[in-house]
Amino acid sequence: MQFIDETYIFIEAGTGGTGCLSFSSLLRGSDGGNGGTGGNIFCIGDKYLNTLFFLNYNKVYKAQNGENGKPKKQNGNNGKDVFIKVPVGSMLRDAQTCELIGEIIIHRQNIKVAKGGTSGIGNLKTKRSKNMKGTIGESRNLYIELILLADVGCLGIPNSGKSTFIRSITSALPKVARYPFTTLRPFLGFVKLNKTYSFIITDVPGLIIGASQGLGLGLKFIKHLNRIKIICNLLDVMCNKVLDTTLGIISEIKTIYIDMFQKQRYLVLNKLDKLPKYKKSQVIEIVINGLTWRNKTTLFIISAKKKYGCYELKKSALTYLKRGING
């Protein structure tokens, strides 16, 4: 299924039913019932969805109108509410004003995005010889943006080994190949350290220098790292210009997402298994000094392909997530 993380839909809540104008000779007076209220429209979180693709098939959602009031003191039925399923992590905005209506952050959470009209009052209560119309329900163009919920996010250039790393520590199966941009959409993976503790990790498509100007896949998917607590900067030590490339990517991100660097960051040097032993320490020292990386507790040397060093990284991440400190 195609990954879509933003869409527009039109929603219209139901109109309230008209109050009834009725007089009964048997009751010796007015007996018109009230109209029903118009149906509301809600967005409801569904943890089994991870794309907004299905909303492209139906762009218009209308709730049922309230029924009109009836004689003999009978009120009209309320209009049925409409529930629109959206993935957990969806942000709901008014498309015209950009006002944030709410965020769906847990399964089954629902947010009212359009309120149904109020019911008209029948002459049973008003004692007036005229009908009272119900009000019109709210309507709007709704902008829905999905930002995936994850605890840890992988960031790096194409072919740095992010997808292989995700496959090695989770059951997710992102595409792996030797050519760049094999990852064309974010992936979520469930990391389980033991029977008790776990967390969610995400992989976003690789960045290249010039991404802020739209080169490659641009910065389109970086927003999916906004809610994470730990960023894993994955570096391919086999890249000839690993230091220059990494500094360039950091500069790209800072042009738009400077706040991202306030999060906890792990430096993850990958593909060490491909280096001769006598070169490993030299390469590690060059990278650390070049990036002025001083915190050794957040430095990890791994081989995603052979799963070397991955358990230590998982354990440290889980400790930080649970206690707010590095393991």
| Beta-strand relationship, 29-30 and 90-94 | unpaired
Residue 281: CB atoms within 10 A of its CB come to 10
Is the pLDDT at 214 greater than 60, yes or no? Answer: no
Confidence band, pLDDT 50/70/90 cuts, at residue 96? very high
Under CATH, which number does the domain 152-323 receive? 3.40.50.300
Is the pLDDT at 220 greater than 50, yes or no? Answer: yes
| Residue 197, C-beta contacts closer than 8 angstroms, at least 6 positions apart | 318, 322
Mean of pLDDT over the chain: 81
The boundaries of every CATH 2.70.210.12 domain in the chain are 6-146
User: Do residues 141 and 94 touch, judged by C-beta distance below 8 A?
Assistant: yes
Confidence band, pLDDT 50/70/90 cuts, at residue 84? very high
Residue predicted with more confidence, 238 or 232: 232
Average pLDDT, integer, range 206-226: 58
User: What pTM value is reported for the model?
Assistant: 0.70
User: Do residues 61 and 14 touch, judged by C-beta distance below 8 A?
Assistant: no
Summarize pLDDT for 143-191 with one digit per residue, the tens.
Answer: 999 887 788 888 777 777 777 888 887 765 444 444 343 444 667 778 8
Six token digits for residue 227: 């809610």
- What b/e sequence results for 118-139 when a residue is b if at least 16 CB atoms lie within 10 Å of its CB, and e otherwise? bbbbbbbebeeeebbbbbbbbe
- What b/e sequence results for 59-77 when a residue is b if at least 16 CB atoms lie within 10 Å of its CB, and e otherwise? eebbbbbbbbbbbebbbbe
**pLDDT score at 68:** 95
**Class of 6-146 in CATH:** mainly beta
Helix (H) or strand (E) holding 27, with range, is none
Is the pLDDT at 23 greater than 90, yes or no? Answer: no
Confidence band, pLDDT 50/70/90 cuts, at residue 130? low
Confidence band, pLDDT 50/70/90 cuts, at residue 270? confident
Average pLDDT, integer, range 59-70: 95
Residue predicted with more confidence, 277 or 113: 113
Where would I find the beta strands (DSSP E) of the chain?
Answer: 6-12, 23-24, 29-30, 41-46, 60-62, 82-87, 90-94, 100-103, 110-114, 139-146, 152-155, 187-192, 198-203, 230-236, 264-270, 299-301
